[in-house]
Structure 1
Amino acid sequence: MSVVGLDFGTQNAVIAVARNKGVDVVTNEVSNRATPSLVGFGPKCRFLGEAAKSLEVSNLKNTVGSLSRLAGRSLSDPDVEAEKQFLSVPLIEKDGQIGARVKFQGKDQEFTATQLIAMFLVKVKQTASAELRLPVNDLVLSCPAWYTDAQRRCILDAAEVAGVKVLRLINETTATALGWGITKLDLPSAEEKPRRVAFIDVGHSNYTASIAEFKKGELKIVGTASDRHFGGRNFDKAIMDHFRKIWQDKHKIDIYSNDKARVRVAAAVEKLKKVLSANASAPINVEMVMNDIDVNGFLKREELEELVAPLLTKATSPIEAALADAKLKPEDIDSVELVGGASRVPALKKAIGDFFQGKTLSYTLNADEAIARGCAFCCAILSPVFRVRDFSIQDVVHHPIEFTWEKSPEIPDEDTSLTVFNKGNALPSTKILTFYRKQPFDLEAKYAKPESLPGKMNPWIGRFSVKGVKPDEKGDFMICKLKARLNLHGVLNIEQGYYVEDQEIEEPIPEEKDAMETDDKANGEAKAPKTRKVKKQVRKGDLPISAGTASLSSELREQYFEFEGSMQSEDKLVAETEDKKNELEGDIYAIRNRLDEPYESNGYSEFASEEEKEKIKAKCESLEDWLYEDGEDATKAQYVSKHEELRSTAASVIQRFNERRQAEEDERRAKAEAEAAKKREEEEAKKQADAEARAAAEAAKKLAEQREREAASKPDEEMKDAAAEGEQSQEQQS
């Protein structure tokens, strides 16, 4: 099972994987740690991620971005209208969803937001699989905290179309908080006051503030608020508006009237903003922006702060709202963590620091990768094959949800609505709803405060029909129980329905021990336990439930899945065809050039006669002409066939060259083996000589030791001989 986390941002996506007792960020095919969230369409195939970015300027009308901002939206949504200024493709409505119209494979085609997101997730899956060298099917995916039920379902549907299983759809700041807290070993215990941390994420298009409480092994989000129109691109827009006016006056051009000019200036402005985050001033230059005109300019940091002053007036609004949700004050916060690319803007940092009364802001997390790392940690927690420190995650409900139903004829004073999940309730969460009915009935779930939803989204969540309801045996109401659950993804469903009956059962009454009971037991008398009759609800059976929600129907999801599979096959065939074309082109030039090169330069000149050379060159020339004329859009099979023709024509020359090369290789190998054998013999001889030398030295040492012993024992024998001679002479004298 793969342990992958994805930060699915408006501008870029970051992929992280848990491995080697840590988390690594996956690099894409061009070694970048972030992949552009773009999907492009061409005459033959799609361009995903980096490929779409490299062709964005030349293929603007067929390149779709802002994928996460389009999820679950409708064409009439004012947020979508505002998004059009950042898109160059025409938006349409298809299958009840927002989508885009592009020219693909030579004809106009329409794709829904679900399909577009699925295409990008396929690219993510391929990138992660290439890095891990194993199939990637499971991941944890981030989304903005303000996402509604319909938007979350759109992401989940897209993942299913892409063949990916989402283990959890986690809010971005919640993922950031998890990545911060799971590695901390000094968190307070359950009995102590929790550590409160404010996580402020200012990304490309979103600004979210969350207040988190940490205890050992526990993360609890207590307040979250967002601004959907405050981010790095809004700073860029203010700078672009400034230079647009300057260049209008100076060069009489309007960069907003030309999509390509707008995109090129946007890229230059983003670089300018990044330079100004670390420097007092910076230049901007864009060559041939439009009408063959070069433009340039200069901006100081003070001027930038004046341009974004209207934005900075809203810099603390999400923080204030999040603190209000958590019922806390700025002085109650222990630390403030800033993440997101736009959090590097000095004026924004100052505004946030002033709000927290000079509290030191913390940047311990990687601003661009914190969300992806948190997602990878969450995936590791959910994975059965990965061992992680126990850490529970509790999020909060962002928008209150209510259920409504039709009044029962038998209960005229019945309430017909109930707010089941209030704002700030724990997430995931389960509630049991009880109904007294004699016939099947329907419920509708919707957001209780439509004005709090992003844009003008439909507050409707779903309609649930409860079947199999009928009067009981006495003709009374059936007691129906429905289990409503907001799951890990923040998606609402009625997961289960069942009915119960009131039954009288006897249960023992706990009695206090007294002296009399002790005496009875001492006398061996067993006292009968006292019981009482109580009414309890006993589950008797299940109730079938049919649901209608914003999720795709199974038929439409299967249709999208099959279409995505066919497009993947086409993309693969186009890539393989291009490879075969390049292979043929490379061999044409290589063989032709090597015909006149000497063998020492890896050439064929010594192995081909003049006649063969002319024949091969003629073949190369004819294939080259075909390649750049009729063969420009040939099939893979045609390129393979032409390649075989070329190799066949030059086969005899290449064979001689290879035979010579093989003979040299065999000779080199034989020589190397002979040298190795000789070296082994020399080493053996040396080892034998060394052994004989060691044996001789050992024998000499033993002989020397023996002589020393003999020399040491000789004086004693001489003394004995002298003593014996003295005794003999005394005897003769006597």
Structure 2
Amino acid sequence: MSVVGFDVGNLQAVISVARNRGIDVICNEVSNRATPSLVSFGVKQRFIGEAAKTQEVSNFKNTASNLKRLAGRSFADPEIQEIEKNLTPVELAEADGMAGVKVNYLGEQQTFSNVQLIAMYLSKLKETTASEINIPVSDCVITVPGWFTEIQRRAVLSAAEIAGLNCLRLVNDLTAASLGYGITKLDLPEDKPRNVVFVDIGHSDYSVNVVSFLKGQLTVRGAAYDLHFGGRDFDKVIMDKLAEEFKEKFKIDVYSNKKAILRLRVAAERCKRVLSANPQAAVNIESIMDDRDVSTIVNRSDFEEWAEGLFGRTADTIQKALENAGLKVEDIDAVEMVGGTTRIPAIKTTISKILNKEISTTLNQDEAVSRGAALQCAMLSPVFKVRDFRVNDICSYPIKLSWAPTPEEEDTEIVVFDNNNNMPSTKILTFHRSEPFTMEANYVNPAELPRGINPWIGQYTIKGIDQPSEIKVKVRLNIHGILSVESAYTVEEKEIEEEFTNKDGEKETKKTKKLVKKADLSVVSQTTALSKALMDQYAEKESQMASNDRLIFATEAAKNSLEEYGYEMRDKVEGSYGPYIDPSIKDKFCSDLNAVVDWIYDEGDDQPKSVYIEKLEALKKVGSPVVERYREAEERPRAERALRATLQRLTEEAMSSDDKYSHIPPQDKQDIVDRCDRARRWLDEQLGKQEKVPKHDTPIVLSRDMAQEESAVVAFATPILNKPKPAPKPAEDTPMEEGEKKEQPAENPEEKKEDMDID
């Protein structure tokens, strides 16, 4: 069973698996420990991850990025229209009421929703994982930002289901990192908690968690977020300055060309990474636009001056997290940082000053979240035993339930899960109704939500009420951070007799009134979840696209095999294979090889897989015997030497006067010598015949024939040479001389012990 943690970031994803009594980060098909979060569409197939990265610039109009920022959004969302449109080269569009992309795929314009895009990417991560661990992947834990709302979390869960993944938990990024930190600490206190601030600055957002640790548990005390502060914002600062410099220096307007913008963004990101470890970075972009090459040098001091406004924003989010946690700076014991952007030296310095603490380096900045997710998956999986460690996560936004007023009730709403409420959590609400009624769930403070997110969560109608009743409604905030009305039922007060023992020790009974469940009621829910029909449609579409990708991959592999065989055989037939092919067919075979190579680059460029396989098999009918004859000519001398060495060794052992073989009858030894002589004569005879056979004819004797003869001789000689020596005869008793005492056998202490009486 798989135990996998997926840290799905806006720029890249990291995959961890629990195995070999630990957590391993696995590599993708090009041996990178992180996979780019990109999905690209082509004329024949999709390219995902590393394959999409290689054509990000050349196929930018059909390459979707920033997948996490699209999750759960509508196309009309101001975040999409004002920000993501400018940061995503692909054309954004509406797809089934959601934000998505419009691309040219399989030769036609198609739109895909954000749920479909995330499902495609998760399918790739699943495939990468399965390839590494060699078992099917199903159970997993997926990370999401703590600021994700219900609709965004449902989008990721739906995508996981389409990808064929069983998501055991959606875990908040920093909660996963906190778990990885805490479970390895053996010195956690038992009474006074250790308070740690976790800072995560990724590609597109900034999160802060304040976490209290006690032995065997962690509790998230408070959190705060900045949704527009991340690596891509620092990239934009560099881009703007470089574009300004290039306009003045080279007279080109980079922002007037989409491909040039993308090339500049890639260069700016690389520049930022270099500046994190070096005082300056060279920027060189070939053919950025109008066939112009540009170059410059960026100093770290200049970059820090350009981004001064961004650095100043770090304090607000930390202060808000501390306020939500009810703690002050002096209450903090340590600071841990994760996320690629935290490598910027000025970020570390700024946060260290704000919290008046040195930055700890316990966690791997890129992999800590993924490792924590895999640990969480192992804790939820029945196949792994993990040290007990309790994770107390919190609800990021308070949720209320509201309903229509009744004459008997003045209240029409209740905050059912307040800010910092534990997650998962269950509440039971009591209503008095005589007919069906409806509740509506909303976030309490719409202004605190990510901009453009609808505060509406769901509507729940309680049915089956036909008389005045007391009703219990069970509301749950589940492990994913998603609200549900799990059940509703009527109760009635009954008088029950209970038996108890009085102070005199006598048994008595008394009557008490208790509420007991009477009948279940039906709950009809309307939520932000995708309809079953749409989910089925998406799953079928993903299956079709995946099948097509596999077919194209197999076809390309068959085409490449044919091309490789054509080039390789053509060169070798003219070289080392030349003596081993019949001269009467050599020219024809070379001509066929040349024809295939030319055909591949002409009409053979786009053919079915079966055509490539058929042509390869036809060539191999001629080529395989040639290869086999060449290999035999190479192997035959080695096989001959091995056989002769074995015959020499066995003959010498059979004729040896060594005491080791003195017990073996002479006739048996002679049989070994005769068998070895017979093998030598066979070998000499076969090799003599082989010398008369042309190299391009079928060999008389094969290397495997010699190996078989060697095995036969060894099988014959070994039992004889390994025959054990007979046991020595016992010495006969001799008469004792007068006065000589017969030696008594030594007493066996074990036997004596067995004869002893034991009380």
TM-score interval, normalised by the smaller of the two chains: 0.7 to 0.9
Match of 1:507 among 483, 486, 498: 498
Match of 2:534 among 556, 571, 575: 556
Alpha-carbon distance between aligned partners in 1 of 2:262 and 2:282, rounded to the nearest angstrom:
18
Residues 273 and 532 of structure 1, relative CA distance in 2, 3 Å threshold: same
By relative contact order (CA 8 Å, sep 6+), the higher-ranking structure is 1
Residues 198 and 591 of structure 1, relative CA distance in 2, 3 Å threshold: same
Counterpart residue number, 1:115: 116
**Amino acid of the structure 2 residue aligned with 1:605:** P
Alpha-carbon distance between aligned partners in 2 of 1:2 and 1:333, rounded to the nearest angstrom:
37
| 1:155 and 2:151 are equivalent in the alignment | no
**Amino acid of the structure 2 residue aligned with 1:461:** I
Displacement, 1:389? 0.2
- Check whether the contact 1:211–1:224 (CA below 8 A) recurs between aligned residues: yes
5+ unaligned residues in a row in structure 1: which ranges? Answer: 472-476, 522-526, 694-734
**Amino acid of the structure 1 residue aligned with 2:33:** R
**Amino acid of the structure 1 residue aligned with 2:185:** K
Counterpart residue number, 1:315: 314
| 1:533 and 2:511 are equivalent in the alignment | yes
Alpha-carbon distance between aligned partners in 2 of 1:441 and 1:84, rounded to the nearest angstrom:
42
Alpha-carbon distance between aligned partners in 2 of 1:541 and 1:143, rounded to the nearest angstrom:
39
Displacement, 1:510? 6.2
Alignment of 1:300-449 (within 5 A): 300-357=299-356, 359-408=357-406, 411-449=407-445
Residues 421 and 637 of structure 1, relative CA distance in 2, 3 Å threshold: same
Alpha-carbon distance between aligned partners in 2 of 1:70 and 1:451, rounded to the nearest angstrom:
20
Where 2:336 maps in the other structure, the secondary structure is: strand
Which of structures 1 and 2 has the bigger CA Rg?
1
- Check whether the contact 1:402–1:445 (CA below 8 A) recurs between aligned residues: yes
- Check whether the contact 2:460–2:485 (CA below 8 A) recurs between aligned residues: yes
Deviations, residues 310-343 of structure 1 (Å, cap 9, x unaligned): 1112111111111101100010011111111111
| 1:627 and 2:628 are equivalent in the alignment | no
**Amino acid of the structure 2 residue aligned with 1:485:** R
RMSD: 1.9
Residues 681 and 404 of structure 1, relative CA distance in 2, 3 Å threshold: farther
Alpha-carbon distance between aligned partners in 2 of 1:533 and 1:201, rounded to the nearest angstrom:
59
Deviations, residues 497-521 of structure 1 (Å, cap 9, x unaligned): 222111111334664x4xxx3xxx7
Deviations, residues 96-151 of structure 1 (Å, cap 9, x unaligned): 21110000011000000000000000000010011101111111110000000000
Deviations, residues 281-316 of structure 1 (Å, cap 9, x unaligned): 222221221111121222222211111111112111
Where 1:388 maps in the other structure, the secondary structure is: coil
**Amino acid of the structure 1 residue aligned with 2:343:** R
Deviations, residues 471-519 of structure 1 (Å, cap 9, x unaligned): 1xxxxx22221111111110111112222111111334664x4xxx3xx
Alpha-carbon distance between aligned partners in 2 of 1:685 and 1:440, rounded to the nearest angstrom:
104
Identity %: 47
Residues 665 and 9 of structure 1, relative CA distance in 2, 3 Å threshold: same
- Check whether the contact 1:40–1:48 (CA below 8 A) recurs between aligned residues: yes
- Check whether the contact 2:500–2:507 (CA below 8 A) recurs between aligned residues: no
| 1:255 and 2:254 are equivalent in the alignment | yes
**Amino acid of the structure 1 residue aligned with 2:150:** D
Alpha-carbon distance between aligned partners in 2 of 1:396 and 1:682, rounded to the nearest angstrom:
82
Counterpart residue number, 2:227: 228
Displacement, 1:683? 4.5
Counterpart residue number, 1:716: none
**Amino acid of the structure 1 residue aligned with 2:652:** E
Alignment of 1:618-697 (within 5 A): 618-648=591-621, 650=622, 654-655=624-625, 658-659=628-629, 661-662=631-632, 665=635, 668-669=638-639, 671-683=641-653, 688-689=658-659
**Amino acid of the structure 2 residue aligned with 1:500:** V
**Amino acid of the structure 1 residue aligned with 2:443:** Y
Alignment of 1:557-596 (within 5 A): 557-596=535-574
Counterpart residue number, 2:466: 470
Alpha-carbon distance between aligned partners in 1 of 2:87 and 2:329, rounded to the nearest angstrom:
35
| 1:64 and 2:64 are equivalent in the alignment | yes
| 1:453 and 2:449 are equivalent in the alignment | yes
Alpha-carbon distance between aligned partners in 2 of 1:440 and 1:620, rounded to the nearest angstrom:
80
Alpha-carbon distance between aligned partners in 2 of 1:322 and 1:149, rounded to the nearest angstrom:
21
Alpha-carbon distance between aligned partners in 1 of 2:345 and 2:641, rounded to the nearest angstrom:
70
**Amino acid of the structure 2 residue aligned with 1:635:** P
Alignment of 1:160-309 (within 5 A): 160-189=161-190, 192-309=191-308
Where 2:570 maps in the other structure, the secondary structure is: helix
Match of 1:491 among 482, 489, 499: 482
Displacement, 1:692? 6.2
Deviations, residues 155-174 of structure 1 (Å, cap 9, x unaligned): 00000000001011000010
Comparing 457-466 with 676-685, greater Cα deviation is found at 676-685
Alpha-carbon distance between aligned partners in 2 of 1:82 and 1:10, rounded to the nearest angstrom:
14
**Amino acid of the structure 2 residue aligned with 1:444:** E
**Amino acid of the structure 1 residue aligned with 2:479:** L
Counterpart residue number, 2:471: 480
**Amino acid of the structure 1 residue aligned with 2:587:** E
Deviations, residues 539-572 of structure 1 (Å, cap 9, x unaligned): 1221121211111111111111111011111000
Counterpart residue number, 2:88: 87
Counterpart residue number, 1:720: none
Displacement, 1:528? 4.3
Displacement, 1:663? 7.2
Displacement, 1:278? 2.3
Where 2:562 maps in the other structure, the secondary structure is: helix
- Check whether the contact 2:580–2:629 (CA below 8 A) recurs between aligned residues: no
Alpha-carbon distance between aligned partners in 2 of 1:575 and 1:660, rounded to the nearest angstrom:
32
- Check whether the contact 2:394–2:422 (CA below 8 A) recurs between aligned residues: yes
Residues 246 and 687 of structure 1, relative CA distance in 2, 3 Å threshold: farther
Where 1:246 maps in the other structure, the secondary structure is: helix
Deviations, residues 409-444 of structure 1 (Å, cap 9, x unaligned): xx3543221110011111111111111111222111
- Check whether the contact 2:89–2:262 (CA below 8 A) recurs between aligned residues: no
Alpha-carbon distance between aligned partners in 2 of 1:380 and 1:575, rounded to the nearest angstrom:
34
Displacement, 1:674? 4.1
Alpha-carbon distance between aligned partners in 1 of 2:475 and 2:174, rounded to the nearest angstrom:
26
- Check whether the contact 1:206–1:226 (CA below 8 A) recurs between aligned residues: yes
**Amino acid of the structure 2 residue aligned with 1:608:** D
Where 1:543 maps in the other structure, the secondary structure is: strand
Alpha-carbon distance between aligned partners in 1 of 2:248 and 2:491, rounded to the nearest angstrom:
77
**Amino acid of the structure 2 residue aligned with 1:339:** V
Displacement, 1:658? 2.3
Residues 51 and 691 of structure 1, relative CA distance in 2, 3 Å threshold: same
Alpha-carbon distance between aligned partners in 2 of 1:146 and 1:355, rounded to the nearest angstrom:
23
Residues 367 and 689 of structure 1, relative CA distance in 2, 3 Å threshold: same
- Check whether the contact 1:40–1:52 (CA below 8 A) recurs between aligned residues: yes
Residues 588 and 331 of structure 1, relative CA distance in 2, 3 Å threshold: same
**Amino acid of the structure 2 residue aligned with 1:394:** N
Alpha-carbon distance between aligned partners in 2 of 1:379 and 1:683, rounded to the nearest angstrom:
62
